[in-house]
């Protein structure tokens, strides 16, 4: 476990997601859960040594299975954006480890079987502030990676958890994204008001302004490419060519090349399909 500043920690030893925890006099504010329920129970046990009050709250940065599959094993109240809560309301109550390969990390967990979701019990629309200690913890809606993506903002400590907004040396998940909103949110991170901040990615831990700019450049490249073909049906051959080109942006280990290619392939096909079938102006509302 890495201490970012007093009472704010991150953990990256679990598959798929960098976890966060904020220790307050009222209790622990936890950010995301490991996808494996066994790992989630192990993480929960390790949190018992951190002190703080008796309350527990788990924040879902969005609805992605990599960060929400283990939520029930955390055995506490779950909070998320209203659009994330809506996604859970439209899902079956039990997750089954089968179906399409999306390039997510949970897909490499053996013997996952069926897992019961833990839908958010608390949700918000634009912003929610937690007053669990002397300084506030602010949950802010920042769409981009998904319609319900949020940031967890501690202005007094100058720490900002940005979820999948910035990903370190791996391709993003595009299937449910809004690229225009994503680029706007990334621009915000580069504004003077965030100077001196520590940014925490849900996939890679601490990231700096160079990583934010690299993420922006990559998404802008994809956005511009896709805009040239918004009136066309998804073309598997064109997507495959684009995947090969996009993989060169990352110094990925050979063992993960196939996974990252599938992540991009799945994401581009589904993103294109949404653009083609959705009414103009409302593809990702």
**205-248 residue pLDDT tens:** 999 999 999 999 999 999 988 877 655 566 777 788 888 889 88
With 70 as the cut, is the pLDDT of residue 88 above it?
yes
- More confident of the two residues 37 and 160: 160
Q: How confident is the model at residue 31 (pLDDT cuts 50, 70, 90)?
A: very high
Domain boundaries, the chain: 2-228
With 90 as the cut, is the pLDDT of residue 180 above it?
yes
How far from each other are the two terminal CA atoms of the chain, in whole angstroms? 37
Q: What is the pLDDT of residue 233?
A: 64
Least confident of 68-77, 96-105, 157-166, 168-177: 96-105
Among 133, 124, 142, CA closest to 22 = 133
With 90 as the cut, is the pLDDT of residue 162 above it?
yes
Q: What is the pLDDT of residue 100?
A: 66
Least confident of 23-32, 230-239, 243-252, 265-274: 230-239
| pTM greater than 0.95 | no
**What is the average per-residue pLDDT within 11-38?**
94
Query: What CATH class has 2-228?
Result: alpha beta
Q: Distance (Å, rounded) from C-alpha 173 to C-alpha 79?
A: 22
**What is the average per-residue pLDDT within 45-58?**
91
Least confident of 147-161, 210-224, 246-260: 246-260
Question: Reduced to 3 states, what is the DSSP secondary structure of residue 259?
Answer: helix
Q: How confident is the model at residue 253 (pLDDT cuts 50, 70, 90)?
A: confident
Q: What is the pLDDT of residue 241?
A: 87
With 90 as the cut, is the pLDDT of residue 135 above it?
yes
Strand 55-59 relative to strand 27-31, pairing:
parallel
Among 123, 215, 121, 208, CA closest to 164 = 215
**What is the average per-residue pLDDT within 193-198?**
94
CA 21 vs. chain centroid, Å, equals: 16
Q: What percent of the chain has pLDDT over 70?
A: 93
Q: What is the pLDDT of residue 262?
A: 92
Q: What is the pLDDT of residue 281?
A: 41
């Amino acid at each position: 476990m890495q201490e970012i500043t007093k009472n704010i920690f991150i953990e990256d030893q679990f598959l798929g997601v960098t976890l966060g925890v904020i220790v307050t006099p009222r209790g622990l504010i936890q950010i995301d859960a490991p996808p494996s329920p066994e790992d989630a129970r192990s993480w929960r046990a390790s949190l018992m040594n951190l002190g703080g009050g008796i309350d527990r709250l788990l924040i879902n940065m969005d609805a992605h299975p990599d960060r929400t599959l283990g939520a029930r094993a955390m055995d506490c109240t779950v909070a998320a954006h209203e659009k994330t809560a809506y996604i859970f309301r439209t899902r079956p109550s039990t997750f089954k480890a089968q179906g399409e390969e999306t390039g997510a990390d949970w897909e490499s967990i053996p013997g996952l079987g069926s897992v019961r979701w833990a839908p958010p019990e608390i949700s918000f629309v634009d912003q929610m502030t937690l007053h669990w200690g002397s300084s506030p913890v602010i949950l802010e809606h920042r769409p981009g990676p998904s319609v319900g993506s949020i940031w967890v903002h501690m202005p007094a400590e100058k720490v900002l958890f940005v979820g999948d907004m910035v990903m370190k040396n791996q391709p993003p998940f595009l299937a449910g994204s809004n690229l225009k909103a994503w680029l706007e949110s990334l621009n915000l991170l580069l504004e003077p008001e965030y100077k001196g901040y520590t940014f925490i990615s849900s996939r890679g831990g601490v990231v700096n302004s160079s990583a934010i700019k690299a993420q922006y450049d990559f998404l802008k490249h994809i956005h511009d490419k896709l805009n040239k073909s918004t009136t066309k049906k998804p073309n598997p051959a064109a997507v495959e060519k684009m995947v090969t080109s996009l993989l060169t942006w990352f110094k990925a280990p050979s063992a993960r090349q196939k996974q990252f290619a599938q992540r991009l392939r799945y994401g581009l096909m589904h993103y294109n399909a949404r653009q083609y079938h959705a009414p103009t102006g409302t593809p990702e509302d």
